[in-house]
Structure 1
Amino acid sequence: MKYGKQTELALQNFGRGRVPEKLIRAYGEVKKAAILAIQKTERFFPPEVYESLLAAIEELISGKWNEECVIPLQQGGAGTSFHMNINEIIASRATEILHQTYNIQRNLHPLEDVNRYQSTNDTFPTAVTIVLFRDLLRIEEMVIALQATLVQKEKTYSLIPIMGRTELQDALPMTLGQVFGGWAGMIERDRWRLHKLKDRVRVVALGGTAVGTGFPAPQEYVFAVEQYLRDVTGLPLARSQNLPDAIAHHDDWSELASGYLLLARNLEKLCNDLLLYTSSFLQEMTHPEIQYGSTIMAAKTNPVLLEWVKGMCMRAAALCRLVEDYHAAGNLQLNAFVPFIAEAMLEIADLLQRSLEGMIRFLEIVVVNTDTMARHIDHSRAMLNLFLPVVGYEKTKAIAQKMPSFSNLEDLKRWLAENGFPEDLQNLCDISSLTRFIRKIPKEKKP
C-alpha cells in the first residue's frame, strides 16, 4: 500500500472509489512539471532525491499505481483528499526508490517534498483542464468524422427523391441528399463551436497556489512550471493572466459543457429523425438486424443503435446542466465542487465519444429503401403543390379537394387531362422541379 494516513482518513469520510485513469495521468504530469520547475529554478532537491521523485511520478503517469488512487471524486474539500492520495503515493514510492537504488535512508514528505509550491486549488483544476482539453480534441475529431460521413451521404443520394415532411405531415419532395446535407450543416456548427472552445479551455491556474496570489511560490517557478507543463503534456496550455479568477471561477468549463449540450441535443435530434425513417410507419430506411430484437417476437428488429445513442445523449445533456449548477455553487475565492464538475465532465466526454462512434457506425450500415421513398411520393397529395406557382393557392386547393386518391404520378397526369387541365400543368408533374431552386415555371394561359 503506497498511500498514507490522510488517504485512510478520507476513506473513512467518503468511502472507496475509482478515479478515471486519465485524470491520474494528468495529475502526475502536473506533479512532474512542478518538480522539474523547482529543480531548474532552485536546485532544491539533492540529485538522488530528484531522480527518485521523477521515477515515482513517471510510474504514476504510466498507470502503475492506479489501484492506489482510491478516493472517489465525489468528495468534500475541493479535491484535497484526492490530491493528498497522489502526494502520498509519490512520496512513498520515491522513498522506496531512494532507499533501494541509492541506499539513502531518508523519508520523503508528501507535502514538504512532493507538494512544494503547490496547492490543491491550482493543481487539481490544472489536471482537470489537461483531461478536458484532450477529451475535447478527441471529440472534435469524431465530430469532423461524423460531418464527413454525412457529407458523403449527401453526395451519394443527391438525386434520390424523398418526401419532405413538416409537423409529421407530407410537405414537399426533396432529395435524400438534401436531408443528409441538413444534418451535416447541423453537425458542422457543432464542429465550429468545439473548435473555438479549445482556446478557452487551454488556460490553467497552475502557479496561483491557494487563492491566486502565488504565495509562497517565487515568480521564477511560476514561469518555469508553465513551460514544463506544455513540454510534459504536449498541449498548448497557457497560464491564466488572472490567477485569482482562474482558481475561483470555472465558467470556461461550464461554457464547454454548453457546447457539449448542443452537440448532445443535435445528436438526439438526428436520432429522432432516423428513428422515424426506420420505423414501421415509414420504412424509408432500415436499421440492420445486428442482434435479436425480442425474446418472444422472432420477426422483430429493434433500432438498438439509435436508442443507445439517444439514451447516452440524454444523459450527457442532463450532466451538462448539472455542471452549470456546480459552477454556480462556488463561493468567494474557491469552488469546492471542482471534483464533482470533473466527474461530470469526464462522464459527458465519454458519453459523447461513444455516441459519436455509435452514430457513425449506424450511418455506415443503414439501408436506404429508395423504392419505398418513391412510392410514398407517388401516393402523396403533397405533389399537388406542384401547381402552386402556376395557378395559385386557391386553385391548387380546389384541385386538391376535387382530386381523388391516386397511386402514382401517371394517374395524376391522366386525371388532369381528363378534367381539361392544360398540358403545361400536366407537364409540371416532375419531382425534380420541386427539389431545386432553379426551375422553369410556365405561366397559366389566359382564356
Structure 2
Amino acid sequence: MNTFERKETRQEHDYVGDVLIPADKLYGVNSVRGFDNLSVSPLTVAHYAEFRDAFAQCKQAAALANLDSGVLDAERCAAIVQACKDVIDGQCDDSLIVDLLEGSGGTSTNMNFNEVIANRAQQVLGHAAGSYDVVHPNDHVNGSQSTNDVYPAALKIATHAMLAPLIDEVQKLAAQFDQKAEQFADVLHLGRTCLQDAQPMRLGQLFSGYASLTHRLAEELGAVRGKLHTLPLGGTAIGTGFGAPAAYRDAVYRHLGEITGVAYQAPSNPFDAMQNMDVFSRVSGELRTCSASLAKIASDLTVLSSGPVGGIGELKLPEAQAGSSIMPGKVNPVLPMAMIQLSFAVIGNDVAVAQAVQYGELEINHFEPVVASRIFDSIALLTNGIRRFREKCIAGISADVARNEAHLVNSMAVATALVPTLGYASVSKLARQSVNEGRSLLAIMEESGILSQTEAMAAIEKASRPVFES
C-alpha cells in the first residue's frame, strides 16, 4: 500500500475518516481497517482457494435468491454474479487482504468480500470502484445476510471441498498398503509385543493391518464430511432470519446447490446452527485420529528399518537424502519422521479447535476464524504429507527376507509355536536353556532329538497362519 489514489469516506459507529486506497485495488475502507488492526499471520482469506470460492459462492447464491425474492433487480444481480465468478477465477486475490486469522469474529472477512464484489460489480456496470453508487457492499452484496450466517456457511463449504482430496489420498495410501500386504504375504516375520519377541507371523499380515486401519480412516473422514451439508444460511444475525424475505431461504439453498453441485440444506433448528460449531470438533477429531494413526505406522516403519547394522533392519525404506552433515553414509527415515512430526501439528490444531468451539458465547461463535485457520491447516498438512509418504516411502519399501526369517527362527517366539506339540512346561524349560546358553532353540531341540528342524519349521509355518481366515 504505497501509492494511494482513491479516497473513500465513511461514517460508521462514530468513526469518521478518509482512507486512501490504490486505484487498482477493489477493497474498501472496512477491509483496510481489518488489515491494519488484525493482521497477525502470513495468510490472507484468499490463501485457501476453497475458502475464497465458498464465500463467493454464498454471495452468488444470495444475489440470485434476492433476485427471486424481489430484493435485487436483474442488472445488479447479474453484475454481482459476474463479480463472484471473477473472485472464484482468482482475479481479485490481491484485493482480498484481510488476515485469515483476523479477530473480528469474521466481520472483516465478510466485509472484504462484500467490498471486493461490490467494486468489481461496479466495474462490470461501467462505474468507478469505490463510489458504490450502483452496487453497495452492505445493501446489495450482503443483502439478506449477516456475517454470522455467511462465515460459518462458507467455512463448512470450504471444509467439505478440502476434505475430498484428503480422503482420496488416504484411500490411495490404503491401496498401497494392500499391495504391500500381498507382496509380503509369504515373508516369515517375528511378531513383537512390548518390543519383545512374541509370536511367528507373516510380514504381509503386519501390512494388512495397516491397510485395514487406513481404509477405516478414509471411511470415517467420509462420514464426517457428510455432516457438513447443513448450513446456517438464512439465519442472518442470530437465527431469526430477520432482514431476509420469507422466500429467501429456500431460494438461496436451491441456487447454492446449482452452483456447488452439493445438496446443502437448511438446519432443522436455525438457533442451534448459529450457536454451535460441534461439527468442527468432529471434523478436527477425525483429522487428529488420522494423523495419530498414520504416525503410529510411521513409527513402526522407523523401528523395523533401523540399522543398517545395529538395528532391526527387517524393512528397507527408500533412501531419500543424506541423514547427517557429519556422519558419512548415514541415511535417516526422514519420510516416516515427517509423518510423525506432522501429527504433532495436527493434534495441536485440534486443541485450538476444541478451545474455539467451547468458547462460543450465547447466539454465535465469534472464534470461527481460528477454526478455519486450524482446520484448513490440518487438512492441507495431511493431504500433502500423506501423498509424499505414499509416493516416496511406502511405494518403495522392500523386505530383507533372510533377516526377517533369521530373527524369527533364532528368537524365543519359536517357543510359542511349539507349545501345541510339546507342551508349555517342556518348551519353557528349553527356552530358558536357549537364553542361558545363547543358542538357537531349534538347534537345541534338534540336538536333543526332540524335534527336527523340518518339523519345527512346519510348526512355525502353521503358527504364522491366522486361525480365523476370511
Same fold (TM over 0.5): yes
Contact 2:79 2:121 in 1 (8 A): yes
Counterparts in 2 of 1:112 and 1:380: CA distance versus 1, 3 Å: same
Q: Does 1:36 align with 2:64?
A: yes
**DSSP 3-state at the match of 2:423:** helix
Q: Does 1:402 align with 2:463?
A: no
Task: Structure 1 unaligned segments of length 5 or more: list them.
Answer: 440-447
Q: Does 1:61 align with 2:94?
A: no
Counterparts in 2 of 1:438 and 1:326: CA distance versus 1, 3 Å: closer
Contact 1:68 1:89 in 2 (8 A): yes
Shift, 1:153, TM fit:
1.3
Q: Does 1:302 align with 2:332?
A: yes
Aligned to 1:442: none
**DSSP 3-state at the match of 1:113:** helix
Contact 2:200 2:417 in 1 (8 A): no
The AA in structure 2 aligned to 1:353 is: T
Aligned to 2:234: 207
Shift, 1:358, TM fit:
2.2
Using the alignment, how far apart are the partners of 2:54 and 2:123 within structure 1?
A: 23
Q: Does 1:385 align with 2:413?
A: no
The AA in structure 2 aligned to 1:389 is: P
Identity of aligned residues (%): 29
Shift, 1:405, TM fit:
3.2
Matched length: 431
Contact 2:54 2:158 in 1 (8 A): yes
Aligned to 2:462: 433
The AA in structure 2 aligned to 1:429 is: M
**DSSP 3-state at the match of 2:364:** coil
Aligned to 2:34: 10
Runs of 4+ in 1 over 6 A off after TM superposition: none
Shift, 1:84, TM fit:
0.5
Using the alignment, how far apart are the partners of 2:132 and 2:187 within structure 1?
A: 78
Encode CA deviations 1:299-335: one digit per residue, 9 max, x unaligned: 1111111111111121111111221111001011111
The AA in structure 2 aligned to 1:303 is: P
* 1:291 maps to which of 317, 321, 329: 321
The AA in structure 1 aligned to 2:44 is: R
Using the alignment, how far apart are the partners of 2:132 and 2:53 within structure 1?
A: 28
**DSSP 3-state at the match of 1:296:** coil
More helix by share: 1
Contact 2:56 2:87 in 1 (8 A): yes
Counterparts in 2 of 1:359 and 1:10: CA distance versus 1, 3 Å: same
Contact 2:50 2:162 in 1 (8 A): no
Q: What are the equivalent positions in structure 2 for 1:78-97 lying under 5 Å apart?
A: 78-97=105-124
Using the alignment, how far apart are the partners of 2:295 and 2:451 within structure 1?
A: 47
Aligned to 1:341: 371
The AA in structure 2 aligned to 1:305 is: L
Mean Cα deviation higher: 378-387 or 139-148: 378-387
Using the alignment, how far apart are the partners of 2:32 and 2:71 within structure 1?
A: 33
Using the alignment, how far apart are the partners of 1:76 and 1:385 within structure 2?
A: 61
Using the alignment, how far apart are the partners of 2:448 and 2:151 within structure 1?
A: 79
**DSSP 3-state at the match of 2:283:** helix
Q: Does 1:271 align with 2:295?
A: no
Using the alignment, how far apart are the partners of 1:27 and 1:282 within structure 2?
A: 52
Aligned to 1:22: 50
Aligned to 2:152: 125
Using the alignment, how far apart are the partners of 2:294 and 2:284 within structure 1?
A: 15
Using the alignment, how far apart are the partners of 1:44 and 1:107 within structure 2?
A: 12
Shift, 1:107, TM fit:
3.6
Using the alignment, how far apart are the partners of 1:129 and 1:230 within structure 2?
A: 14
Counterparts in 2 of 1:176 and 1:414: CA distance versus 1, 3 Å: closer
Shift, 1:426, TM fit:
6.9
Mean Cα deviation higher: 281-290 or 343-352: 281-290
**DSSP 3-state at the match of 1:136:** helix
* 1:170 maps to which of 192, 197, 206: 197
* 1:363 maps to which of 384, 394, 397: 394
Using the alignment, how far apart are the partners of 2:319 and 2:163 within structure 1?
A: 33
Q: TM-score, normalised by structure 2?
A: 0.87
The AA in structure 2 aligned to 1:393 is: Y
Contact 1:98 1:106 in 2 (8 A): no
Q: Does 1:416 align with 2:445?
A: yes
Q: What RMSD, in angstroms, separates the aligned Cα atoms of the two structures?
A: 2.1
Contact 2:352 2:370 in 1 (8 A): no
Q: What are the equivalent positions in structure 2 for 1:126-141 lying under 5 Å apart?
A: 126-141=153-168
Using the alignment, how far apart are the partners of 2:217 and 2:132 within structure 1?
A: 56
Shift, 1:43, TM fit:
6.3
Shift, 1:100, TM fit:
5.5
Using the alignment, how far apart are the partners of 1:199 and 1:438 within structure 2?
A: 37
Aligned to 1:445: none
Using the alignment, how far apart are the partners of 1:191 and 1:173 within structure 2?
A: 30
Q: TM-score, normalised by structure 1?
A: 0.92
Counterparts in 2 of 1:79 and 1:105: CA distance versus 1, 3 Å: closer
Mean Cα deviation higher: 222-231 or 279-288: 279-288
The AA in structure 2 aligned to 1:339 is: P
Mean Cα deviation higher: 163-172 or 36-45: 36-45
Contact 2:299 2:337 in 1 (8 A): no
Encode CA deviations 1:35-56: one digit per residue, 9 max, x unaligned: 01111231622x3322222221
Shift, 1:34, TM fit:
0.4
Shift, 1:414, TM fit:
5.0
Q: Does 1:193 align with 2:224?
A: no
Counterparts in 2 of 1:34 and 1:105: CA distance versus 1, 3 Å: closer
